[in-house]
Chains A and B, each alone.
Chain A
Amino acid sequence: MLHFRFSFAALILVLAGCGKRPVERIVTVYVSVDQVHAEPVLRAFERASGIRAKAVFDVEAAKATGLANRIAAERSRPQADVFWNSEFVQTLRLKQEGLLEPALPASARGLPETARDKDGCWYASGARFRVLIANTKKLAEQERPREWADFLAGRFRGPDLAIALPLFGTSADQAAALYAAWGPERARGLYQKLKDRSVRVVDGNSVVRDLVVQGAAVAGWTDSDDACGAVAEGAAVQVILPGQEGEGTLEIPGTVARVKGGRHVEEARALMDFLLRPESEKMLIDSGFYQASVRSDGAVHPCLGRRQVVRLKAGLEEISKQLEPSRQDMAAIFGRS
């Protein structure tokens, strides 16, 4: 009798499950903005639109490069509708490979020319910077590095300095940017000398931050969000913007793009529209992921220690073109061929 009751209950449950359910609207988004910052924005989008955002987040070791390669590998059966990238080089690369589709979300209309692709394949929202981070207990004020090339100074031991492997994410972007701004020879020379000095090469900018915070490294190259995060947590570190007396530092705008062949066209447009709104950008600035708005007059977050930042002169397209040559050189220099 007990078995009969259980079977009957199970049958009812199965039949209940077979009933018609309303069709769920979904959008698939590949996200290289840190999960801890991106998720509240996506949840806000879900609440506002009723569309479920199915996300794939990157991991520290592969960053945007891993997601962009995944989009490329899925070109015959695209899974993603939107690529929400925390940087720009991989987005431009996908555009060059014909893997992005033009779109014009309503909120993109207010963006300045520099923050949008001329063909409408991508739009920028929020920006970070490449910065130096120094441990203030290990280095006195006058000892701290001020420029990228200060890592070659004799006062530092190579293993006391840390950089992320310049094959992925913003570390790769920085290499490409230096190739574009300085010319390949000078930029390659810098990285070769870093390698020759046995500077620590680790698998992510957050690892660089952690090493400097712990004092295992005295200084490192990282992103402004990682560095400002450490400052906010009270770590004994200083964020230093290099090149402020001359060439400037790399600004890294986040980008939003529609993936070609994505199945949820309307939902993708709605998500892009939401992500490009000033309110969404502000959410990410407030949470500490971005340090500047692409809409502003150049004002930046106070954690960077100045009101205005001198940006590197090289344009985004120019930097993007240098990605592959610089990547090949970096692979050869750091033995990852």
Chain B
Amino acid sequence: MAGWLPRILSGLGCVLFMALSWAPLAAWVAAAPAGDVMEGIRLAVPDARRGQVLLETVLYAAGSSALAVMIGAGGAAYCWRCSTPLAGGASAAAVAALPFPAYLHALAWLPVFAALPSRGAGWITAGWVQGLALSPMAFLLVRTSLERMDARWIDAARVFGPDRRLLARVLTPTLGGAALAAFSMAFLLTAGDPAVASLFSRNAFAMEIFADFSATHDAARALWLSTPLILVGLVALEPLRRYWPNIAQRPGGNRSMQPLAGVPYLAAGAVLTVLPVLMLLVAVLRQSWPPRAFWAAVPLSGRDALTSAGSAAAAGLIALPVSLLAGRVVWRASKLGWWWMTAPLAAPGALAGAGLIWLWNRELWWTPYGTFWMLPLAALARYLPVGILVAAAWRSRLDPALLEAAAVLGPPWQAFVKVEVPLAAPGAVVGAVAVFALALAELPATLLISPPGSGTLSLRIYNYLHYGASSSVAALSLCLMAGAGLAACIAWRIWRRLA
């Protein structure tokens, strides 16, 4: 495949990735004035209070990610090639709930925790909500990883021992890598987002960065303050780098099999995958009734809903070609290249937002600052690496013999356009949908860069949750859930058709 066209296009994809994901972060480095290095170092080293906030944030992110993986892995193991109604329901729930933001889950669980004697506020409740919100992602990642196993291996192993032993000796080691990759991804998404912790009256480290930037608008300070969280994020990227290939292997046979017996916790995982969606539906429908609140809240939010859908769609559409092209590079990238592609995931959302402000709030011939385009730019700065990772994972599932045959029999550019691109497209579509879903829920960067008259639905719901306007929130959540669920189902169908 040594043609010039694929190389130029791959290079273009990487340049676009640099411009979209790295530029806001690089801007911060440029913004840090050299004279304040000592002050910067003082800010970068957490004092006792910030050290405690950092520790609590790490424990919160680790706890909620572990919960998400336990639920997701249990559900995936149960549902894998199994045709029971529970398995079907869990899979459908996971796909539909993938784009639901965590603060929607908070809406469902806030009344439950408020009724408990522990009074509901705290890291544990925030971790529970965040864990449930991320469990669909863990479910889908682990389930994709399980696809590589041939069901005949399991059937063969079942001849010689109980399911319990099969689970311990075959399935768990197989799940382990994917579970760690899912844990890593969930950790990164949690550590950089303070929204849920804030709703449960807990101060996450990312909120410190947001609050400090809001108070000072000082570019350098935010970068220095973010340093500990960025370092934690970079450490968390290592399992993702190491175990992502577990998700990205070619599928094995696809025959169905009987569900594994004697492993009730797997079924519990499936139940818990369905539970958040059911809880949300019940809470939203209960609080939206009577529909007076619905009719009052929805017209006010029409613009916000359009802005959310438009900006997420713009982010997804831009991510589609970039993921397709840059994913080609990541697929073959060295360790360093892999770090380069994924490092923006380690930056907290507030830093990405502040970087975009620093970059674009200036006298230029044209600037996106103050326009709608800041919203997709913020989403891409944070989540484009996710789209590229998904696209790269799909690529590595392709049979290399197909690409080699195309390279031998046709000119390189035709092999690229007529064989490689169609084969890689489903992965890029899924990557773009992942960016769309994450962009729909993006909050920490949006809080800083939201342009006049272009608020998003997530921003409005977050504000309303703080005001305690629960019936309005429920009405808006219903709209968001319907839109996000529909988009996820359409994307799923497109993907199935393409794949």
Q: Which of A35, A61, A233, A336 contacts B468 (CB 8 A)?
A: A233
Complex-state Cα separation, A55 to B450, whole angstroms = 10
Q: Is B362 part of the binding interface, using a Cβ–Cβ cutoff of 8 Å?
A: yes
Q: Which of A62, A79, A216, A233 contacts B121 (CB 8 A)?
A: A216
Q: Which residues of B contact A34 (CB under 8 A)?
A: 463, 467
Stretch at the interface among B60-68, B126-134, B209-217: B209-217
Chain A residue with the shortest CB-CB distance to B454: A54
7 pairs, A vs B, C-beta closer than 8 Å: A34-B467, A35-B460, A54-B452, A61-B210, A62-B211, A168-B211, A214-B114
Contact between chains at A69 and B216 (CB < 8 Å): yes
**Contacts A35-B464, A54-B453 hold; do A335 and B119 have CB atoms under 8 A apart?**
no
Contact between chains at B447 and A59 (CB < 8 Å): yes
Complex-state Cα separation, A61 to B362, whole angstroms = 26
Contact between chains at B215 and A168 (CB < 8 Å): yes
Contact with B along A54-76 (1 / 0, CB 8 A): 11110111100110011011101
Q: Which residues of B contact A215 (CB under 8 A)?
A: 119
Q: Is B292 part of the binding interface, using a Cβ–Cβ cutoff of 8 Å?
A: no
Contact between chains at B121 and A204 (CB < 8 Å): no
Q: Is B47 part of the binding interface, using a Cβ–Cβ cutoff of 8 Å?
A: yes
**What is the CB-to-nearest-CB distance from A58 to chain B, in angstroms, rounded to a whole number?**
9
**Contacts A56-B452, A336-B212 hold; do A73 and B464 have CB atoms under 8 A apart?**
no
Chain B residue with the shortest CB-CB distance to A65: B215
**What is the CB-to-nearest-CB distance from B470 to chain A, in angstroms, rounded to a whole number?**
10
Interface centre among B49, B50, B203 (most CB of A within 10 A): B203
Contact between chains at B467 and A62 (CB < 8 Å): no
**What is the CB-to-nearest-CB distance from B373 to chain A, in angstroms, rounded to a whole number?**
14
Contact with B along A289-323 (1 / 0, CB 8 A): 00000000000000000000000000000000000
Contact between chains at A36 and B469 (CB < 8 Å): yes
Chain A residue with the shortest CB-CB distance to B371: A79
Contact between chains at B452 and A80 (CB < 8 Å): yes
Known contacts A79-B369, A229-B468; can you find 4 more A-B pairs with CB under 8 A?
A36-B472, A43-B300, A56-B451, A203-B211
**What is the CB-to-nearest-CB distance from A281 to chain B, in angstroms, rounded to a whole number?**
20
Contact between chains at A69 and B362 (CB < 8 Å): no
Q: Which residues of B contact A255 (CB under 8 A)?
A: none
Complex-state Cα separation, A54 to B114, whole angstroms = 36
Q: Is A89 part of the binding interface, using a Cβ–Cβ cutoff of 8 Å?
A: no
Stretch at the interface among A1-9, A105-113, A205-213: A205-213
Q: Is B488 part of the binding interface, using a Cβ–Cβ cutoff of 8 Å?
A: no
**Contacts A28-B453, A76-B363, A215-B119 hold; do A60 and B466 have CB atoms under 8 A apart?**
yes
Contact with B along A170-196 (1 / 0, CB 8 A): 000000000000000000000000000
Q: Is A25 part of the binding interface, using a Cβ–Cβ cutoff of 8 Å?
A: no
Chain B residue with the shortest CB-CB distance to A40: B300
- Dominant secondary structure at the A interface: mixed
Contact between chains at A52 and B452 (CB < 8 Å): no
Q: Is A39 part of the binding interface, using a Cβ–Cβ cutoff of 8 Å?
A: yes
Contact with A along B439-462 (1 / 0, CB 8 A): 000000001001111110001101
**Contacts A52-B453, A56-B452, A202-B203 hold; do A76 and B462 have CB atoms under 8 A apart?**
no
Contact between chains at A59 and B462 (CB < 8 Å): yes
Q: Which residues of A contact B84 (CB under 8 A)?
A: none
How many of A's residues come within 8 Å of B, CB to CB?
Answer: 50
Complex-state Cα separation, A211 to B361, whole angstroms = 38
Q: Which residues of B contact A30 (CB under 8 A)?
A: 452
Chain B residue with the shortest CB-CB distance to A200: B201
Chain A residue with the shortest CB-CB distance to B466: A60
Q: Is B310 part of the binding interface, using a Cβ–Cβ cutoff of 8 Å?
A: no
Q: Is B198 part of the binding interface, using a Cβ–Cβ cutoff of 8 Å?
A: yes
Chain A residue with the shortest CB-CB distance to B47: A335
Chain B residue with the shortest CB-CB distance to A206: B466
Interface centre among B120, B215, B369, B460 (most CB of A within 10 A): B215
Q: Is A167 part of the binding interface, using a Cβ–Cβ cutoff of 8 Å?
A: yes
Complex-state Cα separation, A60 to B462, whole angstroms = 9
Q: Interface residues of B toward A: which range?
A: 35 or more
Contact with B along A195-236 (1 / 0, CB 8 A): 000000011101101110011100000000000011001000
Complex-state Cα separation, A327 to B363, whole angstroms = 32
Interface centre among A34, A54, A79, A203 (most CB of B within 10 A): A203
Q: Which of B120, B207, B463 contacts A203 (CB 8 A)?
A: B207
Contact between chains at A168 and B452 (CB < 8 Å): no
Q: Is A137 part of the binding interface, using a Cβ–Cβ cutoff of 8 Å?
A: no
Contact between chains at A62 and B210 (CB < 8 Å): yes
Contact between chains at A61 and B472 (CB < 8 Å): no
Q: Is A77 part of the binding interface, using a Cβ–Cβ cutoff of 8 Å?
A: yes
Complex-state Cα separation, A61 to B208, whole angstroms = 10
Q: Which residues of A contact B215 (CB under 8 A)?
A: 62, 65-66, 69, 167-168, 336
Contact between chains at B217 and A73 (CB < 8 Å): yes
Chain A residue with the shortest CB-CB distance to B42: A337
Q: Is B245 part of the binding interface, using a Cβ–Cβ cutoff of 8 Å?
A: no
Complex-state Cα separation, A35 to B370, whole angstroms = 19
Contact between chains at A211 and B201 (CB < 8 Å): yes
Complex-state Cα separation, A203 to B203, whole angstroms = 7
Complex-state Cα separation, A79 to B362, whole angstroms = 12
**Contacts A57-B455, A202-B203 hold; do A72 and B217 have CB atoms under 8 A apart?**
yes
Interface centre among B47, B210, B363 (most CB of A within 10 A): B210
Q: Which of A39, A73, A79, A167 contacts B300 (CB 8 A)?
A: A39
**What is the CB-to-nearest-CB distance from B70 to chain A, in angstroms, rounded to a whole number?**
28
Q: Which residues of A contact B114 (CB under 8 A)?
A: 214
Q: Is B357 part of the binding interface, using a Cβ–Cβ cutoff of 8 Å?
A: yes
Contact between chains at A59 and B463 (CB < 8 Å): yes
Q: Which residues of A contact B455 (CB under 8 A)?
A: 55-57
Complex-state Cα separation, A55 to B452, whole angstroms = 5
Complex-state Cα separation, A233 to B210, whole angstroms = 31
Contact between chains at A69 and B453 (CB < 8 Å): no
**Contacts A70-B217, A74-B361 hold; do A60 and B207 have CB atoms under 8 A apart?**
no
Top 3 nearest A-B pairs (CB, nearest first) are A54-B453, A62-B214, A66-B214
Q: Which residues of A contact B201 (CB under 8 A)?
A: 202, 207, 210-211, 216
Contact with A along B189-217 (1 / 0, CB 8 A): 00000000010010100010011101111
Q: Which residues of A contact B198 (CB under 8 A)?
A: 60-61, 203, 207
Q: Which residues of B contact A73 (CB under 8 A)?
A: 217, 357, 361
Contact with B along A22-60 (1 / 0, CB 8 A): 000010111000111001100100000000111111011
Complex-state Cα separation, A230 to B455, whole angstroms = 27
Q: Which residues of B contact A28 (CB under 8 A)?
A: 452-453
Q: Which residues of A contact B369 (CB under 8 A)?
A: 77, 79
Complex-state Cα separation, A45 to B211, whole angstroms = 32
Q: Which of B121, B217, B467, B472 contacts A206 (CB 8 A)?
A: B467
Complex-state Cα separation, A287 to B464, whole angstroms = 15
Q: Which residues of A contact B453 (CB under 8 A)?
A: 26, 28, 52-55
Complex-state Cα separation, A265 to B452, whole angstroms = 17
Chain A residue with the shortest CB-CB distance to B50: A335
